[in-house]
Amino acid sequence: MKPVTFMIALLGLAACDAEVESRKAAVPAEQAAPAATAAPLTAAGSAATIQPEADDRAQQAASVVELTPLTRQGDATVKLFGTAGGDPAMNGLYTHLAFFDSPAEGWRVFRLGDFLEYRVLSEAPGRVDLEIDESVMDDASGQIGGRTYRVIVGWTVAADGSAPASVTVTPAR
């Protein structure tokens, strides 16, 4: 249950990211959170004051701007996530694939690349097919252009359910 609680906290912190406003425009309307329709709450006690986190891990968690749980991986807990960084006009979504190993070990994380965005096309145990949009610089003209391509991200599913030692990224059509 702790990984779920942690991810909820991460999503809340992601709204604090300086670049999140520029990414909100890219979220399709059907994926946006529904507007609140409940009446505002009325205070029923004294407010508790909370100080900012001093742990560096909170800073890293606050950089998460995209999260995609992979739900067809059997008993394994696997997710794609992106952190904001760099120049958002030239990619800036550092995209990772993460496997929960154990409470003692935490997550095993693989960096897939620096993209504008990714979309999951399909998934199966040990595999996720992605469509990736990225910025590219034309060295001759200095103009930023874009390209879209597809890849197959694969890994060996261990019989004991442990996280893989490596993943592969294969160009696809």
Give bridge partners of residue 98 from the DSSP assignment: 79, 109
Q: Is residue 31 part of a domain?
A: no
Domain count, the chain: 1
Q: Is residue 78 part of a domain?
A: yes
Q: Is residue 32 part of a domain?
A: no
Q: Is residue 135 part of a domain?
A: yes
What is the chain's Cα-based Rg?
19
The string of pLDDT tens digits covering residues 116-131 is 999 999 999 999 999 9
- φ, ψ of residue 146 in degrees (nearest 5): -140, 160
Write down the pTM of the prediction: 0.71
Return the ∠ at Cα 101 (arms to 58 and 96), rounded to 5°: 55
The string of pLDDT tens digits covering residues 63-80 is 899 999 999 998 899 999
What single DSSP character describes residue 61?
H
Give bridge partners of residue 170 from the DSSP assignment: 152
What residues make up the domain containing 11? 2-24+57-172
The string of pLDDT tens digits covering residues 38-57 is 999 999 999 888 888 888 88
Quick one: which of 144, 82, 143 has its CA closest to 114?
A: 82
Number of helices (H), then strands (E), in the chain: 3, 8
Asked whether the beta carbons of 151 and 133 are under 8 A apart, the reply is no
Asked whether the beta carbons of 88 and 105 are under 8 A apart, the reply is no
Q: Is residue 122 part of a domain?
A: yes
Query: Given a cut of 60, is residue 22 above it in pLDDT?
Result: no
Q: Is residue 81 part of a domain?
A: yes
Q: Is residue 108 part of a domain?
A: yes
pLDDT number for residue 156: 95
Q: Is residue 35 part of a domain?
A: no
